[in-house]
Structure 1
Amino acid sequence: MERIFAAPLGGSKMITQRLTHNWAYIQSSLGGAWEVWRKDKLNNHYNLAWSEVELPHCFNALDAMDPDVPYYQGQGWYRTLLEVDNPYLNGRTLLHFEGAGQHTEVYVYEDRVGEHQGGYDEFTIDITDRLREGQFPAYYENKVPIAIRCDNTRNLETIPSDVSDFNLYGGLYRYVNLVYVPAVSLETVHVISQVSADRADIQVQVKLYHPEADKRSVRLRLQVWDDTEQEIFAATVNRVTWDGSEVVADFEVDAPHLWSPNAPRLYTCKVTLEDEGTGTETAETVRFGLRYFEFEKKGPFYLNGERLLLHGTHRHEDHAGVGAAMTEEMIACEMRLIKDMGANFIRLGHYQQSRIVLDQCDELGLLVWEEIPWCRGGLGGASYRQQCKDMLTAMITQHRNHPSIILWGLGNENDWEADFNYFDEEAIRDFMRELHALSHELDDTRLTAIRRCEFCRDIVDVYSPSIWAGWYRGVYPEYESYTRAGFENTDRFLHVEWGADNVAGRHVKKPYTGFADIQTGQGADERDGDYLLTGGDPRVSSLGDWSETYFCDMIDWYLRAQQGMPWLTGTAQWSFKDFSTPVRPDSPIPYLNMKGVVERDFKKKEAYYVFQSYWLEKPMIRIYGGAMDVRTGSAEEEQTIRVYSNCSQAELFINGESAGVRTRDVRDYPNAGLRWNVTLLPGMNQVVARGRNESGDVVSDETTFVFQTESWGVPVSLQLSSYEEPNGHVMIEAKAYDAEGVFCADAAVRIHFGLAGSGKLLDNLGTVRGSRSIELANGRACIYMDPRGGASMVSARCEGLRTAFVEVSGECGVRDK
């Protein structure tokens, strides 16, 4: 049996236990559920295959970034022994999954009790009936043996497509909860509102979970509080149990406290259910917000009656070392970084994401486009279409209370064929109409949206064409004209997905623009194959330098232009964080989409500060390339120091002397005029920047670096150095040198780290400090290792260069195991 169950957002009397510990895992296609438990009876080599894990757990946490082998797609099994003690007479015992990839089967001992297809929506398996049967071996000491099989095997008749630009991860990569409920309990509580500036009409809709379906009397007590904890509504309702969703309260709120990115005010609704026959009580508490919005036809976006330019980015559920298995703390950290960048909008690509993400968006004030994973590949058969509808229904049902959500996404790049030997545009149009109608039937308070499917742009409420001016097509000075053309070509326009790959730590004096090499005026849409590094039309993505410098210049141009577009609804840069993908093996770090403004472990790139300089209200200042420890040039040549700041004025100091004050002017591209041509000393230099806003607030940034005046030739050798870290790890640094022994500060060759001995490279992390195959950034690369208490020899090799070695002593970085 399978059932969609909306567990409480918080504050509920419902008994819920997060099942984090005491799990074992094996990566294997077992012969059957009995093999999960056979190890308890037989003492043989099979026992060694299981490993202890904690949830959330992704079985592609590391292999998704392995440069040498494709990531695993197959079965992974989990097992645990649960102590079950349901306190409710005739109560139900549930396993609630916040998401698992991609096809999940649940077993109590050897018996399958439920399954779920889909890697991103929540689902619940009711194990009550199997528990009543009992009959578990005595050596489990009254504990319940639970086995779960997760399977991310390739399947053309499921979504998303395997040609999507992200991994279809496997595992219990979101939290699993043990839930006890009475015989009759609350399944969903939805708060539906129609809002204006001075009034909100509110309905509370309740659906019961009542598998026995016998009629009984229940009492509902409702309480609603505003964001100041002032009770604004209370009622008691006596009813006989019902099927489906019913309106149990209808009331008005005068002068509502409106939710917005600057003031994310949340109301609270608590519904307490009492079974009058048994006296049993359970309660569910949900949060909601009151706001209204409009995408004006052929015009901008309005929130609560005022124009709001959407400053957006995107998010994949992906992180260094854990894959999709991000903890609640990791998610909160990422969402805080997004908000602190100045964003007020986020597209969750390309699937329903964790409830924790949506809670954070509500609390922080981030407007949301959330979508189902109908991504690329075409359109399959009846089961394929039913899965799309089921996922849309689940997403809306489970996330409807979140005020942050304004758009339900119905698909992404549905014009990208690949999975079937046919491609039928009319069939896709018909099905898109069906999804559009279903979305409005389930929730008529939000709009529908898709990105990049021109032949469906007239079906949905809001459309985003493909505009990649300056990366996959054209050059970024064309951005304004292509954006205007996209706006004129659809009723309600929103530009999501733009940006450029950039290698963290790679900086250039004169970034590649391609203005002379790349054809202009021929569109800015990404076309099939443009993401490849070879073939096709000339484009910056294949000819460019992949530097942070180019990326910052592009962002600077886009954001400057957006300020002069009064008709624009907004945009969303792709993507906030670097993420793993199976379709990019030739990236500077293999299998990494490197368009992030932060790395896969949250380390900020320079682009983060460019966004802050335009979007953030709190004063900030950043010297471009603050982490660069070497800058180069001739001693006689003036060097440009660039600063990003939202302050009205900034002053630069070189080695203690003022280089002058500049006034910020967005018309003065780049850096809004905050750039200085200065003379640097050979050797060490100190640079300080101080910004002052109109209120007199002062912020500062400083950096030190070596100014290298020696010129260099082609790299001929690598040199390795090791540095012990306070945490016991060792950093291995590789640097390229020419035949004269001069450091090659622009070298970008690919190197491969290796290790022999007792230690272990901390690799497959998808960062510039955690990848054993990587292109140099400004002549250098590094990786960390765990010496594990023994001696090791670390190597770095590159085709055409002499291989370098460094020995790491066993005494270095020894830590207790």
Structure 2
Amino acid sequence: MKTSPLPLGVASRRNVFIALLGRLLAVACAMLSLRAAAAESPRLVQSLDDDWRFHLGESPDAVLTSFNDQNWRQVDVPHDYVVEGTFAEKEPQPRAGGPVRQDWYWLHGFLPVGPAVYRKTFSLPTSAEGKRLWLEFDGVCSNSHTWLNGQLIGAQYSGYTHSRFDVTAAAKPGGDNILVVQVDPRYDGWWYEGGGIYRHVRLITVDPVHIAPDGVFVAPTVSGPGDGNKADAVVVAHADVTNTSSASVSTTVTSEILDANDQVVATASSAHELGISSSVKVAQSLPLARATLWSTEKPNLYRLRSTVRVANRLVDQVTTNFGVRHVRFDAAHGFFLNGKHLELQGVNLHQDHAGVGVAVPDRLFTWRLERLKEVGCNAIRLSHNPVAPFLLDECDRLGFIVVAENRHLGDTYVDQAPKETPAVEHRDLSALVRRDRNHPSIVLWSLCNEQWIQGTPEAAAMIRAMKQRVHELDPTRPVTAAMNGGFDSAVGMGGVLDVIGVNYNPGVYDPMHKLFPATPMFASEIASEISTRGVYATNHWDGYYGDRERGYASAYSITAGPGGQTVENAWPPVAAREFLSGGFVWAGFDYKGEPRPFGWPVVNCHYGFMDLCGFPKDSYYYYKAWWTDAPVLHLFPHWNWTGKEGQEIPVWVHSNCDEVELFLNGASLGKQAVTPLHHLEWKVKYAPGKLVAKGTRKGAPIEATRETTGAPAALRLTADRSTLTADNADVAVVNVEVVDAQGRVVPTAGNKIAFALTGAAKLIGVGNGDPSCHEPDKANSRSAFNGLAQAIVQTTHTAGEIVLEATSPDLKSARLTLHSR
């Protein structure tokens, strides 16, 4: 049968339709293939976070399988038991014979530390028979010993390095298994380090033929930065494959790259023969044309799916996130990401938070990073230890540059390694690099912080050995170390580092650059300004400004810790030097311990530009003004100065406006031009009313106000999110404000607030940011500090409505409704 040809336009449309349909079918098939592959992955990862039994103190018999732990307290991990203690000025008796520093208790924030024991009973299916079983701890603080079914399976002395034990021989598939962890953090105490199983725990079940732990390494390279957004790349996918079976096997190892839309964009496969108890290192090259680059503004991520098959049977699969980016440290011009100059506007972070200590829920890590993004921070130095894996995942996802830091120089667990320390194994350093080398956020491996031998040839020898080990595991990243001395030594560690980190000492930036002109540099720690949120004391004592009796430092940015600088003396020297890659403020948040320079009654430091709850201090707005393009006009102090009528009050402004004019009760107090990187100041005789700052930035007006408030009248609750996941882990950060009858925060309020929680949730911690507050972090009440407090609410496995009510005598109560799903 003969048919007439279709008109040209119709035929073209039909061809286009057929082509589109073909593409859609191909996409659908690829998606189905991906889902099927994910569904059939034989690797089983089982969380062991829930339902532990806990005992504070030693219990030697607890390792016996017959031991009865029913009278022990039930807890979930992550768990920090030290933060549950009571602050005490008197130091407890140190452990006999223990190498405890004399200032240990002081540095640890006056919270007693002792040993403890955890026990957990869990079942294993019979299908685990014949498999390999690994027990993983992301972090246990510290000096831990782990037992399974009465057998000692391993020890980990570091409180930060993850532990992984092969428990195949000790486990009992088809029955109950008893896991015991003994911890004793009394030997630690550089700062507040907490105690307990404070990170996640999991059991991993794999086939006898499998990818080794931390055995996937993704090494993308680009010949150049392309157009800054896309570039041609080559991804070398490494996989360490192991055969622990009783027979030789023929394997097929496949690497697939998936883009942000879950589409496979590159594939490579190779066949490998593995003998009994043998392994093979597989390296496959995958071209990736026009790869979308990872950056701080657009943190694009790819996924590598590594699979192993034996006789066409899938036996293992591991999925790894990674990013493609072009990184360059330049000794003369600083840091470049994807061909674009990027000033590292960084902070140093410890890992604890109000209410929870070091047992920080995953969502709280995200919340803290979001606060840093808001201030314009684009980089984080992880001081001074390996961190929770989830924190690095979020740095990848949110777009932070990361300096990942090793805990100690050499192989020892003391903070000042002796000259004779051997530099051979580097177990902790190796574990850090192997676990974290696939994170695109990490651009530097920091080998140590402030070691007293840093200017000596011995230090240089140790750094060479550590550097060699790092580059064996990861040849794609340079190494650094943070130095606070030995700057003028050409034979110390400065001469062998790929990138030099300088802590404080802005006066050495130029001499160091002259001594090592070909070595890139950055300011690894700056500032150490001491300030207390909402405290505006101007009295002077012992070189500091503040309230000595209560242990508060002035929030006016006029005092710094030993060797440190105020913000206006710390950041400008960094910003003025093109050869510096940037600087990292000490610190982003206050943290427990290191109560310098006060000691008791202070129990946490004052170094953060946010307090322990994440409430901004005034210096937060200094950095926001000069780290972002957003218009900033921050006026302080508060304007509640009853009893000081007619007295001069220093009024400051942090702003990136062109000029600012100040008004009190409608009368102008003068206009000032803004000098970049510096504050504005007026001396104002106090009179109750309204203080207003009016600025202009590029012709656009901006205004800030401080008003004399009334007495506390009510409470107000605000949560970061209203809908949570019912997974026994998700949290809502609830901020509490004490307000007057007009809804204005009362900046001097210290009312005691009680919390009542109903629904399927737990109140896991409270705080207020007061560095001298001795109220417990684990409680149903908390005093406000200068008008603010915080409660952290965590879901359970049960979905439903959650209601938090806050009450205080003589104040109107507040209710907040959340939902978990």
Query: Within 5 Å, which residues of 2 pair with 1:480-519?
Result: 481-490=507-516, 491-499=519-527, 500-508=529-537
Which one-letter code corresponds to 2:46 in the other structure? Answer: Q
Deviation string, structure 1 residues 713-758 (Cα, Å, up to 9, x no partner)? xxxxxxxx9998679x9x999xxxxxxxxxxx99xxxx9x9xxxxx
Describe the SS at the equivalent of 2:364. Answer: helix
Match of 1:799 in 2: none
CA change 1:425–1:486 in 2 (3 A) is closer
The alignment status of 1:703 with 2:710, answered yes or no, reads no
Q: CA deviation at 1:254?
A: 3.2
Instruction: From 222, 230, 235, give the equivalent of 1:202.
Output: 235
2:592 corresponds to: 580
Cα displacement string for residues 680-711 of structure 1 (whole angstroms, at most 9, x for unaligned residues): 5x33x223445554495x6654332269xxxx
Q: How far apart, in 1, do the equivalents of 2:422 and 2:112 lie?
A: 23
- Residue of structure 2 in register with 1:29 after alignment: 58
Compute the displacement of 1:369 (Å). 1.1
Does the Cα contact within 8 Å between 2:136 and 2:202 map onto a contact in 1?
yes
2 CA distance for matches of 1:183 and 1:233? 28
- Residues paired across the two proteins, number: 670
CA distance in 2, matches of 1:442, 1:610: 40
SS in 2 for 1:593: coil
Query: Which amino acid is 1:38 matched to?
Result: F
Where do 1:341-490 residues align within 5 Å?
A: 341-374=375-408, 377-379=415-417, 389-415=426-452, 425-452=456-483, 453-454=485-486, 455-468=492-505, 479=506, 481-490=507-516
Q: CA deviation at 1:208?
A: 2.5
Residue in 2 that maps onto 1:270: 305
Q: Which amino acid aligns with 1:435?
A: M
SS of 2:60's partner is: coil
Alignment check: 8 A CA contact 2:715 2:812 kept: no
TM-score (norm 1): 0.72
* Per-residue CA distance 1:297-325 (angstroms, 9 max, x = gap): 34422222232221111011112232211
Q: Which residue of 1 aligns with 2:7?
A: none
- Is 1:257 aligned to 2:286, yes or no? no
Tell me, yes or no, if the aligned pair for 1:89 and 1:183 is still in contact at 8 Å. Answer: no
Determine the structure 1 residue equivalent to 2:770: 768
Deviations along 1:118-176, whole A, 9 cap, x unmatched?
22122222222222488xxxxxxx4322111122232xxxxxxx563x13432111011
2:630 maps to 1:614: no
1:126-141 aligned within 5 A: 126-132=166-172
CA shift digits 1:580-611 (9 cap, x unpaired): 22675833752422101111121211111111
Question: CA–CA distance in 1 between the matches of 2:156 and 2:482?
Answer: 27
- The yes-or-no answer on 1:58 pairing with 2:58 is no
Partners in 1 of 2:127 and 2:155 — Cα distance?
26
Give 1:631 deviation, angstroms: 7.3
**Which residue of the partner structure matches residue 757 of structure 1?**
none
TM-score (ref. length: structure 2) = 0.72
Measured against aligned partners, the alpha-carbon deviations of 1:410-463 in whole angstroms (never above 9, x if no partner) come to 11111079xxxxxx9544332222112212222221111111252322121222
Aligned partner letter, 2:525: E
Kindly provide the CA deviation profile for residues 551-572 of structure 1, in whole angstroms up to 9, marking residues without a partner as x: 5993134334444322322111
Q: Distance in 1 between matches of 2:539 and 2:597?
A: 24
CA contact (8 A) 1:25 1:51 kept: yes
Give unpaired runs (5+ residues) of structure 2. 1-37, 92-104, 106-110, 227-231, 487-491, 560-564, 718-733, 739-746, 753-763, 777-784, 792-807, 816-821
Question: Using the alignment, how far apart are the partners of 1:65 and 1:465 within structure 2?
Answer: 35
- Asked whether the 8 Å contact 1:585–1:591 carries over to 2, the reply is no
The answer as to whether partners of 1:511 and 1:549 remain within 8 angstroms in 2 is no
Report the CA distance between 1:228 and its aligned residue. 5.4
User: Is 1:183 aligned to residue 183 of structure 2?
Assistant: no
Where 1:38 maps in the other structure, the secondary structure is: coil
| Partner of residue 646, structure 1 | 656
Corresponding position of 1:712: none
Change (3 A) 1:722 1:104: farther
8 Å CA contact retained: 1:722, 1:732? no
Amino acid at match of 1:348: L
User: Is the Cα contact below 8 Å between 1:81 and 1:143 reproduced in 2?
Assistant: yes
Partner of 2:818 in structure 1? none
64, 71, 93: which is aligned to 2:133? 93
Match of 2:281 in 1: 246
* In the alignment, structure 1 residue 116 sits paired with structure 2 residue 156: yes
Q: Measured at CA, do residues 770 and 541 of structure 1 come closer, stay the same or move farther in structure 2, by a change above 3 Å? A: closer
CA distance in 2, matches of 1:541, 1:723: 29
Match of 1:518 in 2: none
- In the TM superposition, residue 577 of structure 1 has moved relative to its aligned partner by 1.1
Runs of at least 5 residues in structure 1 that lack an aligned partner in the other structure? 1-9, 41-46, 135-141, 155-161, 418-423, 469-478, 513-532, 708-720, 734-744, 754-761, 775-779, 787-807
Corresponding position: 1:125 with 2:156:
no
After superposition, residues 7-26 of structure 1 pair within 5 angstroms as: 13=41, 14-26=43-55
2:268 pairs with one of 225, 231, 235: 235
Residue 581 of structure 2 is matched in structure 1 by 569
Determine the C-alpha separation between the residues in 2 that align with 1:62 and 1:174: 16
SS of equivalent to 1:129: coil
SS in 2 for 1:487: helix
Aligned to 1:317: 351
Q: What is the identity, as a one-letter code, of the residue corresponding to 1:256?
A: A
Q: Give the match's secondary structure for 2:286.
A: strand
Shift of 1:250: 0.3
> Are the equivalent residues in 1 in contact too, given 2:251–2:273 (CA < 8 A)?
yes
What per-residue deviation string (whole Å, max 9, x for no partner) do you get for residues 1-45 of structure 1? xxxxxxxxx9994322322221111122222444675225xxxxx
- Check the 8 A contact 2:218/2:237 in 1, yes or no: yes
Alpha-carbon distance in 2 for matches of 1:664, 1:215: 74
**What is the CA deviation profile of residues 630-688 of structure 1, one whole-angstrom value per residue up to 9, with x for unaligned ones?**
37755386x65433233456565544677677654417x424xxx566665x33x2234
Describe the SS at the equivalent of 1:379: coil
Percentage of identical aligned residues: 21
Residues 1:578 and 1:814: Cα distance change in structure 2 (over 3 Å): closer
Instruction: Measure, in 1, the Cα distance between the counterparts of 2:774 and 2:347.
Output: 29
- Answer whether contact 1:579 1:766 (CA < 8 A) is retained: no
Summarize the Cα distance change of 1:595–1:220 in structure 2 as closer, same or farther, 3 Å threshold.
Answer: same
Q: Hey, what's the Cα distance between the residues in 1 that align with 2:811 and 2:298?
A: 54
* Cα distance change of structure 1 residues 64 and 257 upon mapping to structure 2, 3 Å threshold: farther
Answer yes or no: is the 8 Å Cα contact 1:768–1:783 preserved in 2: no
On the 8 A contact 1:97/1:174 being kept in 2, the answer is: yes
Distance 1:386 1:27 in 2: 37
CA distance in structure 1 between the partners assigned to 2:39 and 2:696 by the alignment = 44
- Paired with 1:258 and 1:373, the residues of 2 have a C-alpha distance of 31
Q: CA–CA distance in 2 between the matches of 1:686 and 1:244?
A: 74
SS in 1 for 2:46: strand
Pick closer, same or farther for the CA change 1:664–1:631 going to 2, 3 Å.
farther
